[in-house]
Structure 1
Amino acid sequence: MKLSFILWLAQILPQPAADPLCLATTVYLEARNQSELGQRAVAEVALRRRDSGQWGDSVCEVVTARKQFAPTIVNPGLRMKNLEAWQQAVQVAFQAQQDWRLPPGQRHEVVPGASHFAALDLANPAWAASPRVATIGDHTFFRVQRLNPPAAAPVPTVTVAALPATAQRMAP
């Protein structure tokens, strides 16, 4: 299957249904030749960036932000032929998203605080002088900037007095 088809499909799927597809595609393109731990670390960086809101509000927005992850760097005509690696990437993406739904202190973070990664034998970005979090396989993970999850939106409160009279009778 072609990368362009997957990216098109992600655009027409509703959110958040498209996010696992975008995350799996990124894991496949960035780390299909890495260990499961290395794949998980790549997924974690994308999820941490999504939480920060600095690169987008969805995983798809984050991984398709200009020149940030492989989906926007590699040729869209690339054929993703390795079915076994694709299945592994999908599994890692779903597991990472499931774990990421836990409160921050309960997550099984592989690269805590990492906001960037690079294969330093292929690239030497300016931010590579930032604090290193870990090296897993071919990737080195960095804490380029401290990313805090966005503050939780206040939960609206509804008082019984604000409800219409018919609703007040049904309120507990």
Structure 2
Amino acid sequence: MKLSFLLWLASMLPQPAADPLCLATTVYLEARNQSELGQRAVAEVAMRRYESGRWGDSVCEVVTARRQFAPGIVHPGMRLRNLEAWQRAVEVAFATQADWQLPPGERNEVVPGASHFAALSIASPEWASAPQVATIGDHTFFRVTRLAPPGGPVVAQQRMAP
């Protein structure tokens, strides 16, 4: 199945029904070769950005924002070929969203406070000097205190009430 098909399908579904599809696509593209813990951490970063309200009004908007997550970076013609990895990504996406319905203090967070991640072996983003929360598999997770939403000015990060 092609990335363009998944993104088209998500665009046809009503919100919030499309969000698990977008989150699963992100987990697959960013972390399909990582452990379940690493996949959960990637999903958590996306959910934390969604919760902040500064990166988009839906999980789909957050993960497809320009140059933020793989769905907004990789070529839309990319084929998702590993069905086993896709199934795991779907399971992780639904589990993360279910956990995110809990009050913040009751969530089973893998990378508390992490708003960014990078595979430092292939990328060196300017915010990589921010405090590190954890390294899981190929990804290092960061708590970035000054965020620049796509197309927006750098502003201090604020904790949003649920």
Common fold: TM-score over 0.5: yes
- 1:31 partner letter: A
Q: 1:109 matched to which residue of 2?
A: 109
Q: 1:84 matched to which residue of 2?
A: 84
Q: Secondary structure at the match of 2:10?
A: helix
Cα deviation for residue 147 of structure 1 reads 4.7
Q: Which runs of 4+ in 1 moved over 3 A?
A: none
TM-score of the superposition, structure 1-length normalised? Answer: 0.86
The separation in 1 between residues aligned to 2:35 and 2:49, in whole angstroms, is: 22
Unmatched 5+ residue regions in structure 2?
Answer: 146-156
8 Å contact 1:10–1:18 — kept in the other structure?
A: yes
Q: 1:132 matched to which residue of 2?
A: 132
8 Å contact 1:49–1:147 — kept in the other structure?
A: no
Residues 147 and 80 of structure 1: CA distance in aligned 2, closer, same or farther (over 3 Å): farther
Q: 1:12 matched to which residue of 2?
A: 12
The separation in 2 between residues aligned to 1:28 and 1:96, in whole angstroms, is: 14
In the alignment, structure 1 residue 148 sits paired with structure 2 residue 159? yes
The separation in 1 between residues aligned to 2:66 and 2:39, in whole angstroms, is: 21
After superposition, residues 46-85 of structure 1 pair within 5 angstroms as: 46-85=46-85
The separation in 2 between residues aligned to 1:93 and 1:147, in whole angstroms, is: 25
The separation in 1 between residues aligned to 2:52 and 2:114, in whole angstroms, is: 12
Q: CA RMSD in A?
A: 0.9
Q: Secondary structure at the match of 2:141?
A: strand
In the alignment, structure 1 residue 120 sits paired with structure 2 residue 120? yes
**Of the two, which has the highest radius of gyration?**
1
TM-score of the superposition, structure 2-length normalised? Answer: 0.91
8 Å contact 1:39–1:89 — kept in the other structure?
A: yes
8 Å contact 1:116–1:143 — kept in the other structure?
A: yes
- 1:68 partner letter: Q
The separation in 2 between residues aligned to 1:11 and 1:147, in whole angstroms, is: 29
The separation in 2 between residues aligned to 1:59 and 1:31, in whole angstroms, is: 17
Identity %: 77
Q: 1:94 matched to which residue of 2?
A: 94
- 2:99 partner letter: D
The number of residues matched between the two structures is: 151
8 Å contact 1:44–1:110 — kept in the other structure?
A: yes
In the alignment, structure 1 residue 31 sits paired with structure 2 residue 31? yes
The separation in 2 between residues aligned to 1:116 and 1:15, in whole angstroms, is: 24
Unmatched 5+ residue regions in structure 1?
Answer: 153-172
* Partner deviation per Cα, 1:65-106 (whole Å, 9 max, x = no partner): 110000011110000000000000000000000000000000
